[in-house]
């Protein structure tokens, strides 16, 4: 979605298992979802306070992007998310994290103002502000159990790939030690640049994105693979996410075309995609980022979550 829309929506309104709460310790919300099949960590226990809509444990940790449900005030939305058994909410501003925590929710990816979709990593003039935002907010994310924070590649504005890639690598190499020291992951999002999307966005193909993330080579710098956007740009979703498994740290969903519900009305086979993600051993969050078209947005969300839980 356009960054202004995301940021304006968030300011205006103030992963693992469906039906599971990620347990905390000492008042801190645990940042990491349960490990995959190779993890030594015990599986989380079902929520004691989960509502009747809570579904059984699954291998994918689901979350939901706040901005897609902007018509519901934040506190009632968090309450509804928790009631249906979702453990997390995505893309909250720093000042909103406490509201999610009040409802027992993890903030699966926080927006700390590290650049914008248009003004991102490719432009050196943006680097100081991006680094400053991470220096200020990543320690807080660690304290408050926020496992991921987001940034963007930026608009091309005539810049060739070569310099843009080099600039992005240089900035992320400065940011990586901040994230590594705190155990928080920086996510850089791949987006579509076609009309109706983020026209002129430079990070619009996985080949570009992977070249940068591989060169940075930090366990705390990963790709936010937006399934909706990458279906529009290049398709080949399952093969791509399988081949790039080592570099993807987060997923977003959305129906194609139109970013509507991820049901049978759109072209992507989400049950197969969820199974493919699970087969990679992914242990992060998959956040639903579709804009409900039905008259009952929470029902649309619940149906999407239940479908992915059954996959």
CATH of domain 3-22+46-310: 3.20.20.150
Rounded to whole angstroms, the Cα distance separating 136 from 196 reads 34
Which ranges constitute the DSSP H helices of the chain? 3-12, 74-83, 97-102, 127-143, 161-182, 206-216, 227-233, 237-243, 270-279, 297-310
Q: Going from the first residue of the chain to its last (311 residues), give the mean pLDDT of each consecutive group of 10, the final group possibly shorter.
A: 40 35 29 39 31 45 97 98 97 98 98 98 98 98 98 98 98 98 98 95 98 98 98 97 98 96 95 96 96 94 95 90
| Residue 187 host element (H or E) | strand 185-190
The predicted structure's pLDDT at residue 246: 97
The predicted structure's pLDDT at residue 223: 98
| Residue 288 host element (H or E) | strand 285-288
218 is written with which tokens?
């930090």
Taking CA atoms, 56 is separated from 52, 85, 172, 173, 288, in Å, by 11, 9, 38, 40, 18
Rounded to whole angstroms, the Cα distance separating 12 from 248 reads 30
The predicted structure's pLDDT at residue 234: 97
pTM for the model stands at 0.84
The predicted structure's pLDDT at residue 33: 53
């Amino acid at each position: 979605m356009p960054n202004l829309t995301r940021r304006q929506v968030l300011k205006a309104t103030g992963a693992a298992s469906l039906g599971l709460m990620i347990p905390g310790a000492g008042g801190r919300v645990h940042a990491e979802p349960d490990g995959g099949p190779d993890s030594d960590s015990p599986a989380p226990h079902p929520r004691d306070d989960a509502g009747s809509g809570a579904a059984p444990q699954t291998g994918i940790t689901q979350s939901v992007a706040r901005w897609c449900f902007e018509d519901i005030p934040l506190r009632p939305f968090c309450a509804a998310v928790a009631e249906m058994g979702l453990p997390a909410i995505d893309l909250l501003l720093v000042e909103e994290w406490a509201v999610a925590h009040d409802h027992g929710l993890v903030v699966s990816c926080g927006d700390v103002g590290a650049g914008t979709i248009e003004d991102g990593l490719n432009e050196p003039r943006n680097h100081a502000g991006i680094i400053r935002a991470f220096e200020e907010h990543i320690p807080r994310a660690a304290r408050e159990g926020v496992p991921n924070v987001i940034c963007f590649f930026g608009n091309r504005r005539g810049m060739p790939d070569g310099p843009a890639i080099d600039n992005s690598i240089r900035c992320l190499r400065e940011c990586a030690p901040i994230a590594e020291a705190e155990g928080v992951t920086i996510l850089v999002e791949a987006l579509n640049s076609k009309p109706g999307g983020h026209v002129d966005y430079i990070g619009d193909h996985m080949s570009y994105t992977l070249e940068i993330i591989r060169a940075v080579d930090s366990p705390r710098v990963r790709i936010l693979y937006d399934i909706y956007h990458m279906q529009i740009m290049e398709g080949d979703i399952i093969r791509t996410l399988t081949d790039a498994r080592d570099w993807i740290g987060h997923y977003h969903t959305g129906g194609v075309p139109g970013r509507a519900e991820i049901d049978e009305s759109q072209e992507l086979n989400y049950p197969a995609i969820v199974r493919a993600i699970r087969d990679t051993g992914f242990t992060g969050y998959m956040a639903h980022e579709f804009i409900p078209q039905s008259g009952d947005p929470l029902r649309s969300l619940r149906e999407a979550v239940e479908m992915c839980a059954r996959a």
